[in-house]
Amino acid sequence: MPSKQISSPLSAVTSTWLSTSLRLCVWMVSIIFSLAVAQTAVAQEPSPAIIQNEATINFPESVDFVLEWPADANITSAVLHYDVDKVSCLEAAAQVPVDLVTNTDSIVAEWTWVMGRSGNPPPGSELNWYWTLTDIDGNVTQTVPQSKTFTDDRFSWQTISTEGIDLYWYRGEEVGPLLLEAAVAGLDTLENDMGIQLQDDVDIYIYGSAADMRDALLFVQEWAGGVAFDEYNTILMGVQPSSAEGWGRSTMRHELAHLVVGQYGWSCVGGSRPTWLNEGLAMYAEGEPDTETITSIQLATQNNSFEPLRSLNGSFSSHGPEAGIAYAQSYSVVDFLLREYGQESMQSLLLTLAEGTKYDDALLQVYGMDVDGVEAAWRIALGLPPRTFPPTPTPIVAANVPTAIPLGKPENVPTPPSANELPDVEERPLSPQNTGICGLGMIPLLGIGLVASWQGRSRKKLRDRKS
């Protein structure tokens, strides 16, 4: 499987300062590891002859690192350094001091990265690692940096690619080409209607069912059928061949839109988008609204029962039927903004929000109206009277967490699987509604602040082996 790419040809770049800053940050992160290595290496002694330097990935649960060298090398301590390639502005390499085990002819340092607490990176992610060793005289040496790809070997993956997209699947011959075509159509909508382009290559993994997909992730809602990992430019979906044409096609466009909008509206400064904007844009990218969305909008218009838009800045109420109107309303508002004010204003809004501007301030700057003003204008366009009741207070939600934080970040909310999904694998109870929408939540990934507890695990493991 090809290694994950975190940059793409310059010709594909939209020339905004944000994309430049994104690339700069990605570049910085990708070289931080090697720079750190190079700087340390300058002052170092040559590394002792290494007998074994391996990382065995047990996807998705753990990674076993082992380093072995001759017993006469007089090494007194070993520190493991590792990270996973992702879009980030911060150095995220973890350092773990590892206990040494002395054998007859060699010394071994062994440590297991257990992802039960941190969450696992998606398949296709690239693991990097090296060790620093200190000898009895205090000289520090370093092993050659190595890399390995996280792969999900439970399945025989086929690959199909087009510019900027690598799609992997294993079930149903027609599924891969069909969903790749849907992805390309989604990109066309984003470019034609919003002027937003894919800026970094995307990996898409199509599992044969939602259950297969969820088994690839340690932390995922039990109802999830599709997940977009912004930081890894990776989408995972569970699509049975019978659902590929309907649910699969629209969900592909939806999740891809989350990634592309995420890339476009990303910066090292932080910043976030209101949920109604994120989900509205993703639904817009699905193409023509389905009957369910149209009916929801018609009913809410007739009954004057839309939510105050400000209440949709934060979390939606789960992924069940009650969330349906939130998604339909979000779509309607985004559709209104694009039709009335055009794609340049939408781009400007995304870029202003990426600078860390507050929602109301960003809307005021771009549209001359805060969120209540946008709602009022949209209601007039629908022929509705002004709203008479106040919005519920906006909860402090994941969407307001700045983008660049070291302990993982909120991902786009997963999408439930198709209600038509057949129970050919043990399925947990699913949402009764086939809304093709996202629910709520966040997936903590790749926490790096757990070194202390990992050390504890490592020591315990070595102690157990000794005894």
In angstroms, give the least distance from the CB of 131 to Zn ion: 41
**Residue 352 vs 435, nearer CB to Zn ion:** 435
Ranked by CB distance to Zn ion, the top (closest) residue is 438
Of 94-123, which residues contact Zn ion (CB under 5 A)? none
The Cα 21–Cα 103 span in angstroms is 50
Q: Which of 81, 56, 51 minimizes the C-alpha distance to 68?
A: 51
Distance of CA 76 to the CA centre of its chain: 39
Q: What character string, x for contact with Zn ion (CB under 5 A) and - otherwise, covers 237-276?
A: ----------------------------------------
In angstroms, give the least distance from the CB of 415 to Zn ion: 6
The Cα 155–Cα 119 span in angstroms is 21
- Tokens (6 digits) for 74: 């007089």
**Residue 69 vs 247, nearer CB to Zn ion:** 247
- Tokens (6 digits) for 378: 């949209």
Alpha helices, DSSP H, located in 355-436: 359-367, 371-382
**Residue 279 vs 307, nearer CB to Zn ion:** 279
Question: Which amino acid, 383?
Answer: G
323 binds Zn ion (CB under 5 A): no
Q: Would you call 226 exposed, middle or buried from its count of C-beta atoms within 10 A (0-12, 13-18, 19+)?
A: buried
- Tokens (6 digits) for 326: 């939130």
179 binds Zn ion (CB under 5 A): no
283 binds Zn ion (CB under 5 A): no
**Residue 172 vs 410, nearer CB to Zn ion:** 410
Give all strands (DSSP E) within 137-270, no chain letters.
140-142, 146-149, 158-162, 165-169, 202-207, 226-229, 234-238
Task: Say which residues have a Cβ less than 8 Å from residue 182's Cβ, sequence separation at least 6.
Answer: 248, 249, 250, 252, 253
**Residue 6 vs 282, nearer CB to Zn ion:** 282
**Residue 172 vs 225, nearer CB to Zn ion:** 225
**Residue 279 vs 335, nearer CB to Zn ion:** 279
In angstroms, give the least distance from the CB of 235 to Zn ion: 11
In angstroms, give the least distance from the CB of 300 to Zn ion: 19
Which part of the chain contacts Zn ion (CB under 5 A), choosing from 115-123, 201-209, 234-242, 431-439? 431-439
Tell me the CB-side half-sphere exposure of residue 235, using CA atoms within 13 A.
Answer: 30
In angstroms, give the least distance from the CB of 435 to Zn ion: 11
- Tokens (6 digits) for 169: 């699947």
- Of positions 94, 438, 443, 445, contacts Zn ion by CB under 5 A: 438
**Residue 68 vs 279, nearer CB to Zn ion:** 279
Distance of CA 203 to the CA centre of its chain: 11
Q: Would you call 79 exposed, middle or buried from its count of C-beta atoms within 10 A (0-12, 13-18, 19+)?
A: middle
In angstroms, give the least distance from the CB of 254 to Zn ion: 6
The Cα 434–Cα 456 span in angstroms is 45
In angstroms, give the least distance from the CB of 239 to Zn ion: 16
Residue with tokens 């891969």: 176
Which part of the chain contacts Zn ion (CB under 5 A), choosing from 166-174, 277-285, 290-298, 333-341? 277-285
Which part of the chain contacts Zn ion (CB under 5 A), choosing from 88-96, 199-207, 372-380, 434-442? 434-442
In angstroms, give the least distance from the CB of 262 to Zn ion: 11
Q: Would you call 293 exposed, middle or buried from its count of C-beta atoms within 10 A (0-12, 13-18, 19+)?
A: buried
In angstroms, give the least distance from the CB of 312 to Zn ion: 13
Which part of the chain contacts Zn ion (CB under 5 A), choosing from 240-248, 279-287, 377-385, 387-395? 279-287
Number of amino acids touching Zn ion (CB under 5 A): 3
Which part of the chain contacts Zn ion (CB under 5 A), choosing from 42-50, 72-80, 141-149, 430-438? 430-438
282 binds Zn ion (CB under 5 A): yes
The Cα 252–Cα 234 span in angstroms is 12
Residue with tokens 């993703």: 282
The Cα 432–Cα 353 span in angstroms is 35
The Cα 164–Cα 172 span in angstroms is 23
In angstroms, give the least distance from the CB of 350 to Zn ion: 16
**Residue 114 vs 285, nearer CB to Zn ion:** 285
In angstroms, give the least distance from the CB of 283 to Zn ion: 8
Residues that bind Zn ion (CB under 5 A): 279, 282, 438
